[in-house]
Amino acid sequence: MENLVSSRCKVESLSEKYIFPPEIRPGKVDVALCESIPVIDLDEKAGHDRATIAQEILKASQDVVKEVFQMPAEDQASIYSEDPNRSCRLFTGSFHYAKEDVHCWRDFLKHPCHPDLDQNIQQWPEKPARYRQVVGTYSTEVKKLASKILELICDGLGLESGYFEGELSETSALVVNQYPPCPDPSLTLGVRKHCDPNLITILLQGDVCGLQVFKDGEWIGVGPVPHAFVINIGSQLQIISNNKLKSAEHRAVTNSRDARTSTAFFVGARRDSAIEPAKALINAENPPVYRAFEFTEFLSNYLSNTGDTEVVLEAFKLQE
Ligand SMILES: O=C(O)CCC(=O)C(=O)O
Ligand SMILES: [Fe+2]
């Protein structure tokens, strides 16, 4: 528990365990915000009531996830664990604290949602008292949104309707990230550069900046838009689309003023699903870039390469 960064953020200087090598530290934290990320209104015709309910669900879940990090130490201790095999836990850094040479300036809560949401909820934190109810509702609604977005992507790619339904999008997990104010944000990272390994991620940022995306060789900021989600394409979707869609490399930086909370809802395949470029996208001009594999092989490769996308994808590419 004393490893949580929220218990260190009042220390005046940054411990060397959080200082990243010069080539990957952010240096300048306030990069330009990206102007060209499209903001899409998926529910233009939603009635007043529906829009209000949606905003209430968002507000309640943003509030309750923040409360997790404000609970008394004994309540946090009951969910804290450094065991990477525990499916629901509060922890800090990246996936495997004991194996990291540099730790990220981040605490986070992670747990599974779908399938078997009702069963999984039983493992979720019992405190704050409304956590299970509020985050359960949030997860159900965000999963519906994910299905809607995947169906639009299906259409855009020219795949048969429902291509991603079923086992390719059967699982979901929620990660709540908390980045407390940091003594020197230029030297450390909240989350290292990575691509998400899944199909898509539906990310909710609060009102504090920190998300950055690597585009055309430079880092640009993705500012929070009120009531909007950031949709990240994961590597699994890059592979299935045979590189028609690219998984965006991103990271999170910290700041010295405000704590930042983000909630990432990861949607992806079952571990035993077969992943391969969609047959409908393959022809003489577009030969498959990747081989077929079981998703579990991808995940173990991803974890042992700490999310370095180029390295991970390389292992699944076919010889040219
Ligand atoms: O905090 C953020 O905005 C990004 C977090 C993230 O990339 C992740 O949890 O995979
Ligand atoms: Fe991510």
Tens-level pLDDT at each residue, the chain (320 residues)? 889 998 777 778 999 999 999 999 999 878 989 888 888 888 766 677 888 888 899 999 999 999 999 999 999 999 999 888 899 999 999 878 888 899 999 999 999 999 999 999 999 999 999 999 999 999 999 999 999 999 999 999 999 999 999 999 999 999 999 999 999 999 999 999 999 999 999 999 989 999 999 999 999 999 999 889 999 999 999 999 999 999 999 999 999 999 999 999 999 999 999 999 999 999 999 999 999 999 999 999 998 877 677 888 999 999 87
pTM summary value: 0.96
The answer, yes or no, to whether ipTM is higher than 0.90 is yes
Provide the 8-state DSSP code for 33: B
Answer yes or no: is the C-beta of 261 below 6 A from any ligand 1 atom: no
Distance CA 124, CA 70 (A): 17
Question: Which positions ≥6 away from 24 have C-beta within 8 Å?
Answer: 189, 192, 193
Ligand 1: residue whose CA is nearest its atom 8: 264
- Structure-token match 């908390």, residue found: 178
> Quick one: which of 251, 258, 214, 232 has its CA closest to 34?
214
Q: Where are the alpha helices (DSSP H) in the chain?
A: 48-68, 73-77, 117-121, 131-157, 235-240, 295-304, 309-314
Ligand 1 centroid – CA 262 distance (Å): 7
In sequence order, what DSSP letters do the residues of 303-315 get, joined into one string?
HHTTT-HHHHHHT
Answer yes or no: is the C-beta of 195 below 6 A from any ligand 1 atom: no
Distance CA 110, CA 269 (A): 17
